[in-house]
Amino acid sequence: MKFGFHISIGGGLSKVAERARRLGCQTIQIFSHNPRQWKSSSFTEDEVKMFKRDIEKEEIHPVFVHMPYLPNLASPEESLHSKSVESLYQDLIRTGILAIPYLVIHLGSKGSSDEGEALARISRAINEVFIRVRNRVIILLENTAGQGTEVGYTFSQIRAISDQVEDKNRIGVCLDTAHTFEAGYDISRAKGLEETIEDFDRSIGLEKLYLIHLNDSKTPLGSHVDRHWHIGEGYIGLEGFRRIVNHWQLSHLPAIMETPRQDDRDDFRNMSVIRGLVEQET
């Protein structure tokens, strides 16, 4: 399993590769622009060229872009939904320009609308942007904790979205361990992990799983409260993560940590812990 972090783009893309190298990342995730703003500035040719060169030099792959916080593709509010679709469209273009193969998206909240309608809205949005943007970027649906009126916290809901996406070759899944646990899948236990993997494979298909977000949970099983925590210090625990990173059906995947950080020391600690759980093949 390759390990990495979500890396800040503060100060520009030129700083990303060096930050990733310092933290010992083999894979990374970034935002393509400020995640708390709707508008984004265009990349310069030099900026793109330097980013690609530096990432290749540091042998960091695969790289993932994460969609910003503001969009809500499931929203029944027409103005918010339209802005969200446009944001997805722009992010799909920007991800392609950077030659990054994957774009991770949050699925959003249904508000007062019907669940099925909300899932269909997400699928229609993806179909629309795929028609408008003919690049090879694969959109990864990230499962949620089911907080509030969030959708996408069960594998059947994610399957319902992907079933309605017309271009099956450009859709996949990012599985967040904290969200999975908070949604009620007990991946902290050996039996629960096996049952969760079997459920995922039966509902969606393991071939559609491209990325794991490795985060412990600060809230208990089935809480539906999204709180990431340091590896091994939450309710999933060290043994839970030991089983996850060494599982024969998961160990080939890239894994991004989105653990809390005040400074680099937090990231160094989490990287050291997770690497210490990897069992060497005999």
pLDDT digits (tens, 9 = 90+) for 118-162: 999 999 999 999 999 999 999 999 999 999 999 999 999 999 999
| 63: β partners | 28
> Per-residue pLDDT averaged across 207-233, rounded?
98
Is the alpha carbon torsion for 245, 247, 250, 252 positive or negative? positive
Nearest C-alpha neighbor of 102 from the set 62, 60, 58, 129: 62
pLDDT in tens, 10-32: 999 999 999 999 999 999 999 99
> Per-residue pLDDT averaged across 90-95, rounded?
97
Residues designated as active site: 36, 66, 69, 106, 142, 176, 179, 213, 226, 228, 258
Does residue 282 have a pLDDT over 80?
A: no
Look at the domain 2-276 and name its fold: TIM Barrel (3.20.20)
Does residue 103 have a pLDDT over 80?
A: yes
Q: Compute the mean pLDDT over every residue in the chain, rounded to the nearest whole number.
A: 96
d(CA 217, CA 182): 7
| Count, residues in the chain | 282
pTM of model > 0.95: yes
Give the tokens for residue 184.
């009620």
Helix (H, G, I), strand (E, B) or coil at 215: coil
Burial 205-223 (b: 16+ CB within 10 A, else e): eeebbbbbbbbbbbbebeb
Judge contact between 231 and 152, C-beta under 8 A: no
Return the pLDDT at 39: 85
> Per-residue pLDDT averaged across 60-82, rounded?
97
41: left (phi over 0), alpha (psi -120 to 50) or beta: beta
Domain range annotation of the chain:
2-276
Measured between alpha carbons, how far apart are the two ends of the chain, in Å?
A: 16
Give the tokens for residue 271.
């990287």
Does residue 281 have a pLDDT over 70?
A: no
> Per-residue pLDDT averaged across 65-70, rounded?
95
